[in-house]
Structure 1
Amino acid sequence: MIKYFLLLVVSICLSIPLRAQNLNTKWRGFERVNFTIDGHKAWYVKPSRPLAGKPWVWRASFPDWHTDIDSLLLAKGMYVAYVDVDDQYGSPQAMQVWDDFYNYLLNKAAFAPKPALEAVSRGALYAYGWAKRNPDKVSSIYAETPVCDFKSWPGGKGKGIGDSTAWQQLKKVYQFTQEQALAYKDNPVDNLEGLASFKVPLSHIISNADKLVPPNENTYPLIKKYKALGGQANVIIADNQPQELYGHHFNIEYPEKIADFLLKNTYPVKPALPYTNYSKLRNGANNFMYAVTQKRVATVAFLGGSITFNPGWRDKVCSYLKERFPKTKFRFIAAGIPSLGSLPHVFRLKRDLLDSGKIDLLFIETAVNDRVNGTDSLTQVRNLEGIVRHAKRVNPLLDVVMMSFADPDKTNDYNQGKIPAEVANHELIAGYYNLPSINLAKEVRDKLANKEFNWNDDFKDLHPSPFGQELYFANIKSLLQKFEAIKATKPLLYKLPQKLNSRSFTMGNYQDINTARYDNNWVLDKKWAPGDKLDTRPGFVNVPVLSSEKAGAQLTLSFKGTAVGMVVVSGADAGIVSYAIDNGPYKDIDLYTPWSSSLHLPWYILFSGDLKRGHHLLKLKIADKHNLSSTGTACRIVYFLRNE
């Protein structure tokens, strides 16, 4: 395993387009190491006596401007680094160069994982652009007269002077029309939630006389938003200093104070558990990377519950892929539905995903809802294996990533020395089918124990805060970079092994409610919506529903397969049903759930998963009793389930 890890690290380093120039020079009396990254000039300056852990400051632009701060930091033992992507204005292309530069300095030069960022003027477009994409990798940001909204500069759309030549250049590198540039919603001043959640301290120095980059359009709105999000930030006013270039240039009166700010937030280097500890590459994602890098057309799908449905890590994965591979045409399928776990997914897979066309990469997360919904361990295995085999039978070249997300129950299990059953089952299927996997549940527990953050203040909930969303994305990004490090030159076909469980639901599907026979107590509502004010879930409202509120209502369903069940919407009046299969004894199932009092919850019920292949008959009737917490005897069926 150690040998393989070292080979992977080497491959990651070699995958970064790098050319050493062997032309070390002097910079302010210190040795400077010169090289290129992705064809861009780059360098770092060595302190005479480096501090432990190699802390460093990253110059974003104009590296030879106001270098007193850097000289002080070098004297104190910090490295100074720079990569030249000027005239790209913090564009996505520039951010990819920054990623490669960062990875090189970490993996090749063993720099600390969290640099301080130092931005001058337009350099803030780079520094904030990268910091917002990587808030977990930044210790602090110092910015001098920073551009925080390119509509202000170079756009000149406010009170500033602007620069028409630079504005045209910016639109070209971003591939924006005028309208797109003005409508852009990810300037440094925007989307600061993730950065604030990681408590990255900011310090700006400005002059109120600045007519090129007016503070009222740049620094002041950014700092105001950041503080409102709970972030730490301050503004140094340099109005009493000699002013040049319309107030954009001035002397730095106390460079030692700024150097101290950067040093104290960067050193001592705080050890963080690496993301690579919590992912397993196995067979990787060769076929997805081949689609991305060679065919340049790829579909990525996300199957999960509310953590997948909600905005956050999923959006960041999509944005990252589009920025990393700008020549590839991506299609993204968001198939997350709140409250649903592996049992719903295995039966809705065909309609909600596979019928949508060829998929190249599928992310699966079910561990949280499987625990919450009380899905037993054996059924979890049958569900997860069924999803993998069904999807790979439709597309044998499909790559799948299995993910186990965090919740307090899983943290408690790990603290007691137990592997959560849901995590064990995800890893069981991933290992058996050689699929890459990420154990975010273990990562969160370990980082909590390592005192990198705490649950109440940072992560906050099993539906992650911005901090948690950023943490999830950073781990997934780390795995995607592992995929990229192994070059895909041709598709690879892996033969499916025998079933791990012979009863896995490898042909799960919905059966139409119109195929049932029912008495006059039932009503087929072609566009059901609740009559009360309770909430609903997407895909389970304004759809056909077979419903009855009368005790004694009966129906029968003929079906073919090895498993049968149904999907109901369970609200405050959910009742109890009795069912029998093939004239067997009747059994009761309570349709009322712990959430039914406040929500018409999509609830998936498996009557049996162990039937012989062939034709069967389901009988169902509404009982004349109900849960003590329920207000009625309703049964509202959206679909029947079967495994063919």
Structure 2
Amino acid sequence: MKFTRILFMLLFVLPISYGNAQNEEVIKVACIGNSITFGHGIKDRIKNAYPAQLNRMLGEGYEVRNFGVSGRTLLSKGNSPYIKTEAYTKALDYQPDIVIIKLGTNDSKDFNWIYKADFESDYHNLIESFQNLKSKPSIYLCLAAPVYKKGKKISAEIVTNEVNPKIRGIAKKHRLNLIDLYTPLLDKGDFFPDAIHPNGKGAGEMAKIVYESLTGTPGVLVDQTFPGKKSNWKGFSKYDFEFDGKKAFIVEPTKPLYGKPWVWRARFPGWHTEMDSILLSEGFHIAYLNTNSQFGSPRAVKSWDRFYKYLTKAHDFSDKLALEGVSRGGLFIYNWAKKYPERVSCIYAEAPVLDFTSWPGGFGSGIGSAKDWRILKKEYGFASDAEAKKYTDMPMHGLEKLATAKVPVLHMISLTDSVVPPTENTLPLINKYIALGGIATVVTCTEGKQTLHGHHFPIETPRLGADFIKYYTKKETGPISSSAYHKLRNGLQNSTIKFQHGKKGRVAFLGGSITHNGGWRDSVSNYIQKRFPDTEFEFIEAGLPSTGSTPAAFRMKDDLFKGGPIDLLFEEAAVNDATNGRTDQEQIRAMEGIVRHARYVNPATDIVIMHFVDPGKMKTYRQGKIPAVIQNHEKVAAHYKLPTINLAKEVTDRIDAGEFTWKGDFKNLHPSPFGQGIYANSMISFLEEAWVRPVAEDDKIKSYALPAPLDHFSYDKGELVDIKEAKYNGDWKIIENWEPTDGKATRENFTKVPMLIGEKANDGKLNFNFTGNTVGIAVVAGPDAGIIAYRIDKGKWVELDLLTNWSRSLHLPWFFTLATDLENKKHTLQIKIAQQEDPKRAGNSCRIRYFYTNN
């Protein structure tokens, strides 16, 4: 039946046939490559490197193995050739049906590319080595993924202009399938955090591209909690995978306890599983790593250490765990626990081997195992029995640190056990442990049938073992409730009614880069759509990096209201308002202007103000103070009875409570995916609280009354004005499609757009006539930003330096308010380039994207 299914797939799904795959149980896929294939930089590369994601997508009938090795080159004369790796040898031995080769990125380094003349011949040799296999695999060559940063050893130019063209030519010459991993990943720099290696999302995109190349159909990612093959184990989800070349598995509870407590089994994981079932049902994870033939050796302990770090780092398992060992598993659990007592909450053991001279050595009263004794001596490197007998780093010895750490132990034994006699194992160890001040319990199992010379016996009290582990597992309290950081005030009743009854909604997100970058925004949008599944939504992303409330107040007409009024507005500016040096007055005028302007357009608009976190705000909160910018925004929110979400305080408190760390988890004021999740969870819980009351059929949307303004000069009628409204002479000119030529970064809508530019000091000036009480210029302040002089209504000339703290590395948008508190009438603004000679400056340019006014 399996043969028929695979044959059908080959004939009707895959575009080509795969050697002798019809005769195999599964179609074997070998992924050859460098660190991008390996999964460097991905939090859980075992689960989320592209080969692993591809394996899940292909599903039953396929086995995909990752033979990627970091830093490797295709060139045999390169600094680290792939053909000299153990992974290459293993890939050949694997006898794959499909080979996917993705090499070339590291070859672009200058000290490697000097051998570029050998690239084609070396690639031919690699291809031929797989073509000569008995499995006769189909071979796919991959174009190298884009490189998103210049100036590194890896050259973006060489990858684009030389490496990839050569790979195309090689594929064509050898009539091989070509997978384009370059073009589809262009303009997706967010998937490459270090400019070279994809994150988990980027690897998923790669997997989809490869999947479609193999099957001819679009790929759909398949996510799961842990890596490997998922199956059912006693009603729980089990995941079998390979770790460090060893078989491993994790069994997942239906509802994990907070903090992810876990039990680590050593040897015979299918033996006496009743206790595991109990613990799983009560929220514990079960983990296993197969180091069976290593008898707790130093090499085995190192493997265990790597597995521990993987589970605690990649999957956030608790730093402390319960150890569970059966028979020879005693050697594993005690040797590891002695080395890392701080990681162990308790030890549970059944008929444990604690002295290998007793078993498998057989030098005491028990039944030894000559075969296992030979394996053990080889594993430990013992040249003779005498050398083995002198070895002292066994569980029986060196218990002091474990006892001092008060790690409790529980042994289940049979007094008739003549394979692992308790008189040579459990009893002497327990006596030593108690004498050292350790906590120890021994349960003698006497009921039921005992077999294998008393070594196999029924556990009379599996509940006792489970309760022992539960008792000594540190109870971690749940996370701080987000509701403590939410102020509902007048709530969101209007948007609830509109979305529920009106079946249409416009939701806008206004802010800086944290809003522009998405993550939390995408999660909130998805939640809203699911909350109101029958409603047609338009989600407006109006985040502009590097900007705060002042630019937002003047952008609303262009960026929010062109499609109509807004029903629900999320506004954030606390980070940039403080960082960009906006005064208290500016912060209040801008935030109040945003609120009033939104409600002039739609008096029923619901508005939520969010305070995001940065290190400065955390420091202020820890001093027992409230950051000034949050006080200012809260003053506006309280005046208009608007809801607020104080994520700055929430994140600070969660970090101080030990839930996570800034450096390790949140990473930056531009949050990591973990930090984005913290933001999203808090916002969604806020929305659930705000929308908890059901909407009645006769509920009506009500307009919000506008109180008197806090500041009569608030930017409540702010707007951007086209630069073509200005008159100018001399050096001033409009460049219709301006973009920088120095390679520095830019922001959306501030490059490849019309720009009014002046560069020469005192060579002409511009005049801008406007009506209103406020005027300013939105400029591109790059490395060559200059000094201008300006005046209102032929008043005194005032000089202004356009160079910001960030201009050296970025052409960033910056809003300079030149005058405010003016009479609300007609005025004239004049600007000229100031006479300033400074050899330290890169230039003296003024590039104006917009004027802005408040009328």
TM-score by length of 2: 0.49
Task: Tell me which amino acid in the other structure corresponds to 1:393.
Answer: Y
Q: Does 1:185 align with 2:395?
A: no
1:606 alignment counterpart: 817
CA deviation map 1:407-458 (0-9, x unaligned): 1111111222221111011111111111111111111222223222222212
Q: Residue 432 and residue 615 in structure 1: after superposition, are their counterparts in 2 closer, same or farther (change >3 A)?
A: same
Q: Deviations over 1:133-166 (max 9, x none)?
A: xxxxxxxxxxxxxxx9999699857579xxxxxx
| Partner in structure 2 of residue 440 of structure 1 | 647
Give yes or no for contact 2:727–2:766 (8 Å, CA) kept in 1: yes
Please point out which of 623, 627, 630 is paired with 2:834.
623
**How many equivalent residue pairs?**
452
Share of identical aligned residues, percent?
41
Indicate the residue corresponding to 2:525 in structure 1.
318
Amino acid in the other structure paired with 1:184:
V
Contact map agreement 2:736 2:754 (CA 8 A) in 1:
yes
Aligned ranges 1:201-240 → 2 under 5 Å: none
2-structure distance, mates of 1:478, 1:527? 44
Residue 527 (structure 1) aligned to one of 708, 721, 737: 737
Q: 1:627 to 1:614 in 2, by over 3 A?
A: farther
1: CA distance, partners of 2:476 / 2:239: 35
CA distance in 2, matches of 1:581, 1:408: 39
Alignment map for 1:61-140 (pairs within 5 Å): none
Q: What displacement does 1:353 show?
A: 0.7
1:328-477 to 2 correspondences below 5 Å: 328-477=535-684
CA contact (8 A) 2:542 2:560 kept: yes
Are 2:542 and 1:506 equivalent residues in the alignment?
no
- d(CA) in 1 for partners of 2:230, 2:262: 11
- Distance in 1 separating the partners of 2:731 and 2:692: 62
Given the superposition, is the C-alpha separation of residues 425 and 626 from structure 1 closer, same or farther in structure 2, using an over 3 Å criterion? Answer: farther
Are positions 1:570 and 2:777 aligned together?
no
> Does 1:277 pair with 2:487?
no
Query: 1:624, 1:633 within 8 Å by CA — same for their partners in 2?
Result: no
Q: Which has the larger radius of gyration?
A: 2
Distance 1:309 1:325, change over 3 A: same
Q: 1:543 aligns with which of 744, 750, 753?
A: 753
Q: Which residue of 2 aligns with 1:558?
A: 769
Greater displacement, 287-296 / 566-575: 287-296
Per-residue CA deviations over 1:447-503 (Å, capped at 9, x if unaligned) read: 223222222212221111122111111110111001211233321222111111111
Equivalent pair of 2:728/2:767 in contact (CA under 8 Å): yes
- Partner secondary structure for residue 712 of structure 2: coil
Q: Quick one: distance in 1 between partners of 2:851 and 2:546?
A: 18
8 Å CA contact retained: 1:545, 1:638: yes
Q: Distance in 2 between matches of 1:573 and 1:240?
A: 67
Change in CA separation of 1:214 and 1:613 when aligned onto 2, cut-off 3 Å = closer
Work out whether residues 301 and 361 of structure 1, in 8 Å CA contact, stay in contact via their aligned partners in 2. Answer: yes
Q: Distance in 1 between matches of 2:230 and 2:747?
A: 48
Q: 1:66-90 CA deviation, whole Å, 9 max, x = no partner?
A: xxxxxxxxxxxxxxxxxxxxxxxxx
Amino acid in structure 1 at the alignment position of 2:849: V
State the AA in 1 paired with 2:499: V
* Selected match of 2:725 from 515, 521, 540: 515
Q: Are 1:486 and 2:693 matched, yes or no?
A: yes
> Does the Cα contact within 8 Å between 2:609 and 2:642 map onto a contact in 1?
yes
Distance of 1:278 and 1:236 partners within structure 2: 41
Letter in 2 for 1:413: T
Asked if 1 retains the 8 angstrom alpha-carbon contact of 2:570 and 2:609, the reply is yes
For structure 1, which runs of at least 5 residues remain unmatched after alignment?
Answer: 1-147, 161-177, 193-201, 224-230, 243-249
Contact 2:240/2:249 (CA < 8 Å) preserved in 1?
Answer: no
1:566 maps to a residue whose letter is I
User: Which whole-Å deviations, capped at 9, do the CAs of 1:507-548 have from their partners, x for residues lacking one?
Assistant: 100111111111130121111101211110011111100112
Instruction: State the distance in 2 between where 1:518 and 1:420 align.
Output: 43
Q: 1:326 to 1:233 in 2, by over 3 A?
A: farther
Distance 1:490 1:267, change over 3 A: farther
Residues 55 and 63, structure 2, Cα contact 8 Å, conserved in 1: no
Gap change, CA 1:428 and 1:159, over 3 Å in 2: same
Query: Where does structure 2 lack aligned partners over 5 or more consecutive residues?
Result: 1-51, 65-211, 251-259, 286-468
> Cα deviations across residues 211-262 of structure 1 (Å, max 9, x unaligned)?
x999579xx9998xxxxxxx999998999869xxxxxxx9779546756945
Distance across 1 between alignment mates of 2:496 and 2:531 = 12
Q: Is the 8 A contact 1:576 1:627 kept in 2?
A: no
Are the counterparts in 2 of residues 203 and 236 from structure 1 also a CA contact under 8 Å? no
C-alpha root-mean-square deviation of aligned residues, in Å? 3.8
- Describe the SS at the equivalent of 2:691: helix
What TM-score, normalized to structure 1? 0.64
How many angstroms apart in 2 are the aligned matches of 1:503 and 1:529?
35
Alpha-carbon distance change, 623 to 350 in structure 1, aligned in 2, over 3 angstroms: same
